[in-house]
Amino acid sequence: MSAAPVKPRIYVKVPPDRLGAVIGEGGRVKRMIMDATGTRITVDSENGVVIVEPEVEGIPPINVMRAAEIVKAIALGFPPEKAMRLAEEDQILVVVDLKQVVGDSPNHLKRVKARIIGEKGRARKTLEQMTDTYINVGDTVVAIIGDYERAMVAKRAIEMLVEGRMHSTVYRYLERELREIKRREQLKMWARDEFRY
């Protein structure tokens, strides 16, 4: 007799002040994530842990991973509506640990966060618009949601700002990289269309 298949289960640590956001009013957010991914989410408020597993047998493990990433994004400070973008196939969550780059001096952290956010949030907004990503600046980390290539370009742009590069230099870098990404995408589409005929 063969053993029952082991269900993939992922545990996500969530800060106490973000548990409410993961659950949502009347459980709305939790339900939204479960419906989008076919998973079951259990919130252990006492230990600040969210458990994600398939709702029924046959749910692909990737769905469990996606649901866990959505929970993680909300835990990092994204509004649930933005975090839900991770339910889409080609979207990823990238996290930049600022402490690894600048150490844990509160003053250094404050300074680099101010550079990333910019005056009245302009720099962050510009980065988001240029890369078509969502960016959240937390206490010690910066989280990015987007497709793989654009999220990686946004990550590099943030690292450049942390290293002290001028905003104009970073924007020029972004324009160059994004032009290249668009060119590759157009070539891919063109090749697909050619193939069709």
Per-residue pLDDT in tens (0 to 9) along the chain, 197 residues = 555 566 789 999 999 999 999 999 999 999 999 999 999 999 999 999 999 999 998 899 999 999 999 999 999 999 999 999 999 999 999 999 999 988 888 898 999 999 999 999 999 999 999 999 999 999 999 999 999 999 999 999 999 999 999 999 999 999 999 999 999 989 888 887 766 65
Find the CATH number of the domain harbouring 175: 3.30.1370.10
Looking at the structure, do residues 99 and 56 belong to the same domain, yes or no?
A: no
- The Cα-based distances of 146 to 5, 90, 129 in angstroms read 33, 8, 11
- The Cα-based distances of 127 to 13, 130, 140 in angstroms read 28, 5, 19
Looking at the structure, do residues 83 and 97 belong to the same domain, yes or no?
A: no
- In the chain, the largest separation of any two C-alpha atoms, in whole Å, equals 65
Q: Residue 147 pairs with which residues in a beta bridge? A: 91
Looking at the structure, do residues 55 and 104 belong to the same domain, yes or no?
A: no
Percent helix / strand / coil, the chain, rounded to 5 = 60, 15, 20
Of 47, 63, 87, which residue constitutes the final position of a domain? 87
| Global pTM exceeds 0.95 | no
Is 4 among the domain residues? no
Q: What domain range is 111 assigned to?
A: 91-196
Looking at the structure, do residues 95 and 83 belong to the same domain, yes or no?
A: no
Amino acid 65: pLDDT? 96
Looking at the structure, do residues 17 and 98 belong to the same domain, yes or no?
A: no
Looking at the structure, do residues 15 and 103 belong to the same domain, yes or no?
A: no
Amino acid 3: pLDDT? 53
Looking at the structure, do residues 35 and 100 belong to the same domain, yes or no?
A: no
Total domain count, the chain: 2
